[in-house]
Amino acid sequence: MEAAEAQLGHQADKVTAASKLIELGATTMRIARFKDVAEAVHYGIPCGAGGDEGQHALRLAGDDPYAGLSETGERIAIDKWLAPIVPVNIFGIGLNYRAHAQETGAQIPEHPILFMKPTTTVTGPGDPIVLPASCTHGPEVDFEAELAVVIGRTAKDVSEAQALDHVLGYTCANDVSARRWQKHGGARQWVRGKSFDGFCPLGPVLVTADEIPNPQVLDVRCLLNGETMQTGQTSDMIFSVAQLIAYLSRDTTLLPGTLILTGTPVGVGFARTPPVFLADGDQVRVEIEHLGGLENPVQDASA
């Protein structure tokens, strides 16, 4: 009991710290996480504008956004982009766009379809999506452009009306999925097909929630080798971001750093005729309005 109370107290401190992060003095708050040339990891505000993040950042003091970050005024070169956050948990939502549900032949779900991904799936911009060696029955690895929500305040039993108050920010995500493992090799459980290393690219930045007052009006695209494969808008979601947070927090504590993948729009590879799956040498790019573009090469495990 004492341990539980201590953890809740620690999380309350993190709530305050997350609020400090949002209040940092920039008109558009785009938080990057990156390595410098000496391999040191930093948080910073990219010096580019909009989706053009540039290769330099104004470094933020601190190594944990939930322990508090502050401006330093120091400009530093970005040597390697990293995922903008290190999530504590990852919740995924399936079939959450009406047009996507229709393209798969599925009925519109009455309740959110929930699965989880391990944190070992997280990778950053520019890192390869590795096609697993265990995909031995032919091509099956698919792309899914998604809006990712990062919880910044401990949430439990929050109402839909209060849900967005618990959001720290948003980023682009690719819910990479091995379809045979998802549908057949995982005993009807989706988790296995979505849990291989590197199957959750994130980035390039975390855009704080104050810059996205309405997450239900964002355009979402996925491009494969420059060709648009998926296009949609978050207005097509069956369950809104606020509804998802309220649903997930029911009798369940969502800690700061919880990541919610909110579903993917129409145009996924397995639903196409003929199907389109990722192959060695491909480039896949997720673009979300106001959040920028997340691009990753595809690499076969044997390479």
Give the helix/strand (H/E) hosting 301: none
Query: Domain ranges in the chain?
Result: 2-82, 89-300
Q: What are the φ/ψ torsions at residue 284 (nearest 5 degrees)?
A: -120, 135
- φ/ψ of 22, rounded to 5, equals -65, -30
Tell me the torsion sign for CA atoms 174, 178, 183, 188. negative
pLDDT digits (tens, 9 = 90+) for 56-89: 999 999 877 877 788 899 999 999 999 999 999 9
Q: Categorize the per-residue pLDDT at 246 as very low, low, confident or very high, splitting at 50, 70 and 90.
A: very high
**Strand pairing partners for 60?**
43, 71
Class of domain 89-300: alpha beta
Q: What is the tens place of the pLDDT at every residue in 93-111?
A: 999 999 999 999 999 999 9
Which helix (DSSP H) or strand (DSSP E) does residue 270 occupy?
A: none
CB-based contacts of 80, cutoff 8 Å, min separation 6: 34, 35, 124, 126
Could you tell me the end-to-end alpha-carbon distance of the chain, in angstroms, rounded to an integer?
A: 50
User: What are the helix (H) ranges across the chain?
Assistant: 2-22, 98-104, 160-163, 179-180, 241-248
pTM, whole model, 2 decimals? 0.90
The 10s digit of each residue's pLDDT in 6-24 is 444 444 343 333 444 444 4
Cα separations in angstroms, 273 against 138, 206, 230, 256? 16, 35, 14, 41
What percentage of the chain exceeds 70 in pLDDT? 88
